[in-house]
Structure 1
Amino acid sequence: MPTVKEIIDRLQELLNLGFNPTNEVILDILQLFENRLNHIGERIIHSFISIRRNETHDEFYRKIVGEAIKSERNLKKTEVLNFLDKMIGNKSKFIFMDAMLLFREKSSFRSIGGTKIINSVQPNSKINFHYYKPLLFNLTFYNWILVKFTENSEIANLAFNDILETRISLDICQNTKEFSSCKFIGAKFTEICNIFKVYCNIKNFFIVSHLELLKKVSHEDILRPLFEFYLLDIFDLPTTFKMPMQIADDDNIYVKFKRKRKKRIMIKEQKLEWLIAIENLHKEIVKKGNSITETMSTKFRNYIEDLYDILENEGFFEELQTELEMKNSLNIFKKIKL
């Protein structure tokens, strides 16, 4: 087995001949040796670090991780991700997070709209096919996140946000002529739906700010988990949707969680946030009447109205009003005391 020095010497010869050790090339080599990374991987990576000496270790690994997680990278196994995680060490979580955030910042889909594009599209209207937002990362990475960093990590939340945006854009584009005629998107449909369901089955990742994204959604696979399970569960009400969601057979979905899904623990302030958001959406529906269809799908509207009625009948909005009045009185008292 060659030593690090021997590998460096050979790489130097190649550099003299015009070889360029780009991030893509390095990842290709790591994938080529993915079944032998435990034996030779460390020597390979240290050799490349040596010839790219103008970069800090963190900069080097951030770029290599970025290459490993991008959606175009055909990563079927987790060996390379596990190897990079091991080599990075204690900073692994931060390096992977930085690489993900950098992708979001650079993504043209973010710069031309991302969520803004989703919110600018009228339900049931003819839309530009380019409003479809692909997943930023490869499926193996999304799955690996749940295994390595767990569903309670900030990285998992960031991953779900990207998955949700893509699933929503897919829903909005689904009925367009361009969508039905595009074989590439059709092939991706099952993969995107599956990874969305994987995350939904693991945990309630939905947060209040997602409601704005969901306004134009019509597909029940997206709306039912939130309105018929998670939100009812948050307020300790009987759920009407069965979890986990069924996932179509797909070789890319390798995460098989057998443990029982834990109920998400919500603090009082978070419940109040949901109540305020639902009440505000209901007020918007009442105020705008039928014209609300310009900014909200019929199904989303129906779910909001039904949930509002359930929560109102259970007295949650009376409790909300009492809580807000108490907070207001406390704030006034603090100001007087000062």
Structure 2
Amino acid sequence: NVWKKSGYHEIITDVNDPVMRGALLILYPPIPPEGWVEPGLDQVVEKLNSLKALGFELTNNAIGDALILFERNLKDIGDTLIDAFANVLRMTKEDILSICLRELLDPERTFEREDSLEFVVNAIDTPEEKILSTFKEYGIENPIDVYLDNNGSLPQDYAFLKNSPIVYKYMLVKFGARSRITRFLMNEITTARIGEAKLRKFNPSLVLSSVTIAGLWNELEDIFNIYCMADVPLELQFLPLIKTCSSDTVIKYLFEGYLTRLFGFEVEFQLPATVQIPILD
């Protein structure tokens, strides 16, 4: 290998996942040329195995990339990809789907459509249990426990959502407002919204100094409003944390809007007209 002869011994490691993505794009081009025929399972396996023979690896990250790369076509080619990955890695289909779920719920991964999540969730058994388990694997825990263990304070990173907004929207629509998953996520969302309000009060220049933070907080407020509008239950144990909230908007909605609707009272408070509960395509 000319690169290794030049002293670049990490060439395969450095380009591993891009090479895997490139190979899959050759098999499934975004704009198929005239006469293109969709490859079967054997062709996909052969292509991936040929790369393995050269020292490349089908990593978990590459599998996650593939799901998002082909998310618009998973209804047609998803099963072939999963079977091919299982064949190449000598794993069961269930094991591959578990990898897919972990990759899609990785807080470091961002995506904007629900197609890949829908494909994987529909393909696995007991999805709620596995999703909750995956969230916990990534350290997404009940924030009130952290709050109480830290003498009434939370780390600054609790003022931001852990996952992409599409994850929260998808879970609400897929499993419903009363599901264990959405209740679990409501804990995180409410804590983040309160944390945001505190940071805005005590460090008002923070949001002005960072376009990224401003964007993340806009997403957070949107998700918080959507979950409240859907009446996702909030655990009573969160009341001590809510008492520390410095945002009149959050308090007003929680007590005049959200909580009163749960108990059947008539209220006048309304969310912004732009807030809508999402619908899966």
| TM-score, length-scaled by structure 1 | 0.63
Out of 91, 116, 119, the residue aligned to residue 152 of structure 2 is 119
Label 1:193 to 1:235 Cα distance change in 2 as closer, same or farther (>3 A).
closer
Q: How does 1:218-237 map to 2 (within 5 A)?
A: 218-233=246-261, 237=265
Counterpart selection for 2:111 from 26, 51, 75: 75
Is residue 236 of structure 2 the alignment partner of residue 191 of structure 1? Answer: no
Superimposed CA distance per residue, residues 109-131 of structure 1 (whole angstroms, 9 cap, x where no aligned partner): 97x9567569227xxxxxx8x45
1:174/1:115 CA distance change after superposition, 3 Å: farther
Given that 2:128 and 2:180 are in contact with CA atoms closer than 8 Å, whether structure 1 keeps it comes out as no
Contact 2:194 2:245 in 1 (8 A): yes
Q: Does 1:157 align with 2:183?
A: yes
Deviations 1:23-78 (A, max 9, x none): 2211211222222211111101111122223x554443233212213343232111
Counting only pairs closer than 5 Å after superposition, residues 1-338 of structure 1 correspond to structure 2 as: 1-53=38-90, 55=91, 57-88=93-124, 90-104=125-139, 113=146, 116=149, 119-120=152-153, 130-175=156-201, 176=203, 177-233=205-261, 237-239=265-267, 241-243=268-270, 245-246=271-272, 248=274, 255=278
Instruction: Provide the aligned length of Structure 1 versus Structure 2.
Output: 240
Report how far residue 180 of structure 1 moved.
3.4
| Distance change (3 Å), C-alpha of 1:131 and 1:28 | closer
Give CA-to-partner distance per residue, 1:153-193, whole Å, 9 cap, x none: 11111111111121121111113144432221112121110
Q: Report the Cα distance in structure 1 between the residues aligned to 2:151 and 2:117, rounded to whole angstroms.
A: 32
Report the TM-score, using the length of structure 2 for normalisation.
Answer: 0.74
Task: Decide whether aligned partners of structure 1 residues 163 and 115 sit closer, same or farther in structure 2, where only a CA change above 3 A counts.
Answer: farther
Unaligned runs of 5+ in 2: 1-37
Preserved contact between residue 183 and residue 232 of structure 2 (Cα < 8 Å): no
The separation in 2 between residues aligned to 1:247 and 1:185, in whole angstroms, is 24
Q: Hey, what's the Cα distance between the residues in 2 that align with 1:11 and 1:189? A: 41
CA RMSD of aligned residues (A): 2.9
- Using the aligned pairs only, state the percent identity: 24
Larger Rg: 1
* Distance of aligned partners of 1:204 and 1:37 in 2 relative to their CA distance in 1, 3 Å threshold: closer
Q: In structure 2, the residue corresponding to 1:120 is in which secondary structure?
A: coil
Decide whether aligned partners of structure 1 residues 115 and 180 sit closer, same or farther in structure 2, where only a CA change above 3 A counts.
farther
